[in-house]
């Protein structure tokens, strides 16, 4: 048995084409161009590469982007002032603060400063709270992308046992909530595992749907997976590899080679969940622009 690969690149490309069509329609009907403001503090290579990819994605979708890059020595007061400036800018409908921030800056304070109506990452307490009670909100991008992948692959989440490995505020907790909510792509029975879980394999072997966001390579191996399970690998780890020009290779949190022989569906790294994260950021930014314009209907991803 060899798993079918869930191609995040192709799915993201299809969704981005749909989003670009909605952007063009919004421009034609209202004269408004959806705008994304990105704040990058410091020059972390991974963060810089990610922000550049977001800029490119905005341009391809016909969106406006404002990229603010400042030194790592930027003070918290200066960071808050930059966020407030974006809050007040009518050209910007969505704001993204690239994480992690330098240690001297209070991450929570900066995130909390984002106007909830422009919080397209879905990280502010207002949007997190609205998500928890099922009210309209911007869903966090990576968890939303995972749900879209499951839906479009025809995975039956309702009644399934989903196991999430990881409890971060960015992925683990929100994806667990989305999988258990009473809605399309949800209604699963969810178990959350973490660093304090004893005998992790006992839980992962029970999963019909296994989402691994542990932040550590090879956390899950093939012998820890139920035959026929759907495996979503969220991890992106840099592994030293002297045979490559870059000096490293990317690997997920799942041992892909052993897992693909057991799972029915599996996401690769790279090319799995990653492309969906930026795609759902574009979707949220478009939706924020529609709300600002008072546009009727929804730009919900079509399946």
**Active site residue: 9, 27, 76, 98, which one?**
98
Q: Is 255 a catalytic residue?
A: no
**Active site residue: 54, 118, 173, 226, which one?**
54
Q: Give the DSSP letter string of the chain.
A: --PEE--HHHHHHHHHHHHHHHHHHHHHHH-PPPEEEEEEES--HHHHHHHHHHHHHHHHHT-EEEEEEE-TT--HHHHHHHHHHHHH-TT-SEEEEPSSPPTTS-HHHHHHTS-GGG-TT--SHHHHHHHHHT-S-PPPHHHHHHHHHHHHTT---TT-EEEEE---TTTHHHHHHHHHSSSTT---EEEEE-TT-SSHHHHHTT-SEEEE--SSTTSB-GGGS-TT-EEEE---EEEE-TTSTTSEEEE-SB-HHHHTTT-SEE--SSSSSHHHHHHHHHHHHHHHHHHHHT--S--PPP-
Q: Is 233 a catalytic residue?
A: no
**Active site residue: 118, 119, 121, 226, which one?**
121
Q: Is 54 a catalytic residue?
A: yes
Q: Which residues are catalytic?
A: 54, 98, 121
């Amino acid at each position: 048995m060899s798993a079918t690969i869930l191609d995040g690149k192709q799915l993201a490309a299809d969704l981005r084409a749909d989003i670009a069509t909605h952007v063009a329609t919004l421009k034609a009907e209202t004269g408004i161009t959806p705008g994304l403001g990105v704040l990058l503090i410091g020059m972390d290579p991974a963060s810089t590469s990610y922000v550049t990819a977001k800029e490119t994605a905005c341009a391809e979708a016909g969106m406006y982007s404002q990229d603010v890059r400042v030194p790592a020595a930027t003070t918290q007061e200066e960071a808050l002032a930059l966020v407030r400036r974006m809050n007040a800018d009518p050209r910007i409908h969505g704001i993204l603060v690239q994480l992690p921030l330098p240690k001297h800056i209070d991450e929570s304070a900066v995130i909390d400063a984002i106007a909830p109506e422009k919080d397209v990452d879905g990280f502010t307490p207002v949007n997190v709270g609205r998500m928890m009670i099922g009210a309209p909100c911007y869903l966090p991008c990576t968890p939303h992308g995972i749900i879209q992948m499951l839906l479009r692959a025809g995975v039956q989440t309702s009644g399934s046992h989903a196991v999430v490995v990881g409890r971060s505020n960015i992925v683990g907790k929100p994806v667990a909530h989305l999988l258990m909510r009473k809605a399309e792509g949800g209604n699963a029975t969810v178990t959350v595992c973490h660093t304090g879980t004893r005998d992790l394999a006992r839980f992962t072997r029970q999963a019909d749907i296994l989402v691994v966001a542990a932040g550590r390579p090879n956390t899950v191996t093939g012998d820890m997976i139920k035959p026929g399970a759907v495996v979503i690998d969220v991890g992106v780890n840099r592994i030293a590899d002297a045979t490559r020009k870059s000096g490293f290779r990317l690997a997920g949190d799942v041992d892909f080679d052993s897992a693909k022989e057991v799972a029915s569906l599996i996401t690769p790294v790279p090319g799995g969940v990653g492309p969906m994260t930026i795609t759902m950021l574009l979707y949220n930014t478009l939706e924020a622009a529609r709300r600002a314009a008072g546009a009727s209907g929804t730009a919900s991803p079509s399946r």
